[in-house]
Amino acid sequence: MKTRDILNTVTRTLPGWHVYNDHQFGRITTYNPQAGCEVVVGLPDTDTNTIRIVRTRYELVEDTTVLNTAGMGEEQALDELARLLAAPMPRTDRLMRLKEQFDKTAEWCRNAIGNEQAAKDTEDMAEQYMRVCESCNEYPGHDPVLVFEGWLLGEELGSPYETRRQAALRMRAVVRALYRD
């Protein structure tokens, strides 16, 4: 498969994105600054018949897909590449909705009930959540929401501070509710 054909498929599938061909590393990178999205398409080298696609949004890895083009015709491989590039990014949307909900919870603690410590605990946990999301970038098989829910359970059971336990309990309820959506 020719690099030019892959480049044409990427630009046709993602119109309006900035596209550049990185000859040194053998990949095509596209970026949409308004949506905060980046897609890196690793070009197949001479030894493999695979195209590696890494989709990132807000610096969180949405997914990593390896498209095995062995046994596919060139046209079919390009159509499959176009389909993968056009797929929505629901994982990152869910992660960002959860972060927004944590921010609202902290604001509610601060304004509605006047509990500054609970608001601070919630903000600390939201920062921990983003660290979990970033660390899960290295392990795409792990869902950051489930990892964070496990961390919250440990925080709820092991914290000696009542406000911290209550904040973890509230946030676990939020995580479960948004995870079901």
Q: Give the residue extent of every domain in the chain.
A: 3-88, 91-180
Q: 94 and 145 in contact (C-beta within 8 Å)?
A: yes
- The rounded distance, in Å, linking the Cα atoms of 107 and 151 is 22
Cα angle, residue 93 at apex, residues 78 and 150 outer, rounded to 5°: 115
Query: Over the stretch 144-165, which tens digit does the pLDDT of each residue have?
Result: 888 888 888 898 888 888 888 8
- The rounded distance, in Å, linking the Cα atoms of 148 and 133 is 8
Of the CA atoms within 13 Å of residue 166, those in its CB half-sphere come to 11
pLDDT score for 140: 66
Residue among 71, 41, 67 at smallest CA distance from 56: 41
Mean pLDDT, consecutive 10-residue segments, the chain of 181 residues? 84 88 86 81 74 79 79 86 81 78 86 86 86 78 82 87 85 79 61
For the chain, the farthest-separated pair of C-alpha atoms sits apart, in whole angstroms, at: 64
- The rounded distance, in Å, linking the Cα atoms of 147 and 135 is 10
